[in-house]
Amino acid sequence: MQNQDGLKDALIWVQEIGYLEMARVLVAGANGFIGRHLVRHLVEFNHDVVCLVRNKPKRLRFGDYATGCVIGDVTDLASLRPAIKNCDLVINLAGVTKSLSRRELFAVNEKGAANVADVCAERTSPPILIHVSSLSAAGTQPNWRIADTNPADEPVSIYGKSKLAGEFALRRYAGQVPISILRPTIVFGEGDRDVLPLFQSIHYYGWAFLPPFARQRFSFIHAADLSQAIRLVALKGERLSEGKAAGTYYAADPNALRFDEFAKAIGNCLKRNRTRTLVSPRWLMALLGGLCSIGSQATRKPYVLSYDKAREANAGPWCCDPLGLRLIGFQPDLLMHRLQQTTDWYFQQGWLTRPTNVIEPNARVFDEELAKSANSMGEHASSR
């Protein structure tokens, strides 16, 4: 039995965009942490979803949540043509956040974005293209809170520069393809590995090792709420146009928190009576980042922390205002509720355990267990 809210919303899609049947959506980067949330969200709203994956084994992670998978890569122009051929909407989540070289970052984050737009432009009736970039493309600002109308982009890291380069590449197609860009801030949620160490250190030791500026405000967003934002922008958002700032949206929970407050909120979810925080000085963050970069080169495996990431952490607090999203109906769930939801999922999967033995994360169980979480994403993603 189809979700009635989803069916109603699909009819709104038909009326506003003008297609004769339900939109067919291609999700590039569907196998990532955010991608799996987004696929589920789109299926909740009855969209015909196709996942772009790089190899066959990864198909197993989706189960029945996607109607199909196609093999392809954003760095391979030829593989994108059959994938995009019959789609009404293309959502590009594909990106590299950590790598062993600058070349790899730009190959995916810049050239990959350009390839997707190029193939969309080849169509007689180009699909809507939603590109998920990063707040890193903007850089930090002295007034600590970036608005959608922010005129100055000054990325402080190589990663941020690669994401901004991807946005510049897309702007060259603004006259040919309807394109919108989202810049998410720090994303967390079920299935996330990058924020997991913070949960683990608080759970097992009662300590949170935090970045510099941790007592200033940061923006966060749950992956389910980001999925809502992506779909809202596809449905109602403005598109890029030459010489105008419209078409770029900052994705974050409206309520920014100090990073130490965020850590203590996690401690509350973990039933910790007290969470101690240790704020890293900037020199120590740079040193740890440098050591991690050396280690990643030695092992040929990129680490979450690197000198480039340390440069971002040392640049200042990361905070943005999702005003543009709120104007088109963005209504995220309460941040505390999302933290509790994430905490519960970590325990269900054994990513957090009692007592202190940590079980290696298993991404293949993601979709089975996410289905059991307290809230359906559709309930928190209505575009009405």
Name residues of the chain where pLDDT drops below 50: 1-2, 6-7, 10-21, 57-60, 356-361, 363-384
Eight-class DSSP state of 27? E
Residue 115 sits at φ, ψ, to 5 deg, of -60, -45
Torsion sign across C-alpha atoms 13, 188, 33, 137: positive
* Residue 364: per-residue pLDDT: 47
* Residue 122: per-residue pLDDT: 94
* Residue 371: per-residue pLDDT: 44
Rounded alpha-carbon distances, angstroms, from residue 51 to 38, 94, 167: 11, 11, 22
Residue 354's region, left for phi above 0, alpha for psi from -120 to 50, else beta, is: beta
* Residue 1: per-residue pLDDT: 40
* Residue 134: per-residue pLDDT: 94
CB of 321 within 8 A of CB of 148? Answer: yes
Q: Which amino acid is at 329?
A: G
Other beta carbons within 10 Å of 75: 15
Eight-class DSSP state of 66? S
From the centroid of its chain, how far is CA 273? 31
User: May I ask the CATH architecture of the domain 4-192+219-255+312-337+362-378?
Assistant: 3-Layer(aba) Sandwich (3.40)
* Residue 150: per-residue pLDDT: 52
Q: What does the domain layout of the chain look like in residue ranges?
A: 4-192+219-255+312-337+362-378
pTM: 0.84
